[in-house]
Amino acid sequence: MPDLTDLPPRRTLPADVRARARRELLDGIRPREHRRPARLAAVLATAAAVLILPAFGALLVDAADVTPTATDGPVNDNFKVITPEERYAARDGAPTETADRCRAAAPDQLRDAQPLLTASDNGVTVIVFRSADGERVRFCELSPATVAVSADTSRASSGTAATVTFRSALGTIAGVTGADVPHLFVRDPIMQTQMTDDGDPALMRDGIFVLPNAVTAAATELQLTVTATGSRDAQISTLTGSELPAPAPPTTDRPQPAADRTSEAGKQLGRCFSDPKLPPVADAGAWIPAATLRLTDDESVYLARLDGLLATCIVRSTEGPQLTIDDGHRIPWLPAYIAANPYLFGDLAFYDFKKESHGGSSSDTVVVTALVTDSRVASVALSRPHRAPITAYVQNQTVLLPGIGLNENRDSSEDTSTLTLYDSNGRELDRVPVGQS
């Protein structure tokens, strides 16, 4: 592996080189673009270069277009690091309402335990509870409808690498590690894609690790990779069969009504949500179909919503569906296509890929997908300096804006697009900057 602390001086690449690099990057990631958190897709869309480095447990992004920020680990200043803490929106403790759901599901087991941290991904939230003496651990997983609580777990003994003690029906993996374990990666061979060849990096804290909604429902084998330290060699172990804990049975504490799965949109969403190479979709039967649109002769997009979550499914006749789930979480230093605002949140999905001479394909055409969080918003209009404006009406709390060139505003910092929000009477509510990443 190259020494990232001894990179050559930073240089600004010529515009044609940056454009070519971006096209090649998008081409390279397309076959793997089936299910990644929306914020990671934004990284790939806005960065000129991306490195995935197992040694640091983080995704590294070229700093050309982002605001400087502190990094974690021996990384050159030209790169920013997306850590597991950022990816999983880790926070100390837990919101009272969320912790109370766990305590109601297991009052005796969690009576004296205190929440250590909370992590979330794709609508699945995990709270780590720890005993007062810090020696016992329990995990509580929540979806909008269900709660699952792990068995009681002791802290790992000295010299232990990693032990999986909790597995859920929604693909969460968690457990304990030795105190000297710096980073842990978990790989599911069935998964369509993971962040590195060693799998996804775990969120770690005080000898405890967790990966919310990270493996497939049918996983019969998991590979655990512990990175090396000055006192410990790297270690790879494979868990199979009885070595894996059985999924903890969930309890439905907040029943959700069954959503439409008989219409064309409902059927397509059902297929999208049942892909065996993806982690299970939380409360898959409760997602409400929303806006749909035929993008090209071969591609259509279907949106669905559930409890403040947005699902985007791109369906193509030539390959499996592409699914992303957006909970509105954003990494503060990472530019988003739609600027933060109190009315809606959303992201980008690529489509209309073109064949390249070398046999691959690439695209810089995106559809903007958004979930409206303010009921006053009835329509939106995207103004663009070099192309015709686009207007869309809110459909079941969601919005689709197709035909946007990813690089159309790259030539001038003064040429920016604006998303104007209107109420049902046509009155302007606000203007939101877009495409300034």
CA 394 to chain centroid, in Å, comes to 24
Higher pLDDT, 234 or 210: 210
Helix axes 15-29, 38-46, angle to 10 degrees: 150
* Position 415 confidence tier, pLDDT thresholds 50, 70, 90: low
Contact 344, 371 (CB under 8 A): yes
Task: Report the pLDDT value the prediction gives residue 411, as an integer from 0 to 100.
Answer: 55
CA 163 to chain centroid, in Å, comes to 25
Distance, first Cα to last Cα, the chain: 30
- Could you read off the pLDDT of 285-328 as tens digits, one per residue? 999 999 999 999 999 999 999 999 999 999 998 888 899 999 99
What is the rounded average pLDDT for all residues in the chain? 82
- Could you read off the pLDDT of 41-57 as tens digits, one per residue? 333 333 332 223 333 34
Task: Report the pLDDT value the prediction gives residue 52, as an integer from 0 to 100.
Answer: 30
* Position 410 confidence tier, pLDDT thresholds 50, 70, 90: low
Average pLDDT over residues 93-100: 96
Does the pLDDT value for residue 14 go beyond 80?
Answer: no
Task: Report the pLDDT value the prediction gives residue 4, as an integer from 0 to 100.
Answer: 42
Q: What is the pTM of this model?
A: 0.82
* Position 78 confidence tier, pLDDT thresholds 50, 70, 90: low
- Could you read off the pLDDT of 392-405 as tens digits, one per residue? 999 999 999 999 88
Does the pLDDT value for residue 388 go beyond 80?
Answer: yes
Task: Report the pLDDT value the prediction gives residue 210, as an integer from 0 to 100.
Answer: 98
Average pLDDT over residues 1-30: 44
CA distance 177 to 164: 9
CA distance 311 to 369: 9
The alpha carbon dihedral of 336, 304, 58, 248 has a sign of positive
User: Structure tokens of 79?
Assistant: 């790169």
Per mean pLDDT, which range of 151-155, 259-263, 429-433 is the poorest? 151-155
Phi, psi of 144 (to 5 degrees): -55, -25
Tell me how crowded residue 121 is: count the other CB atoms within 10 A of its CB.
25
- Could you read off the pLDDT of 148-178 as tens digits, one per residue? 999 999 987 766 789 999 999 999 999 999 8
Task: Report the pLDDT value the prediction gives residue 329, as an integer from 0 to 100.
Answer: 92
Average pLDDT over residues 130-155: 95
Task: Report the pLDDT value the prediction gives residue 35, as an integer from 0 to 100.
Answer: 42
Does the pLDDT value for residue 341 go beyond 60?
Answer: yes
Per mean pLDDT, which range of 79-83, 143-147, 371-375 is the poorest? 79-83
Does the pLDDT value for residue 234 go beyond 50?
Answer: yes
Contact 36, 196 (CB under 8 A): no
Task: Report the pLDDT value the prediction gives residue 413, as an integer from 0 to 100.
Answer: 56
Task: Report the pLDDT value the prediction gives residue 69, as an integer from 0 to 100.
Answer: 28
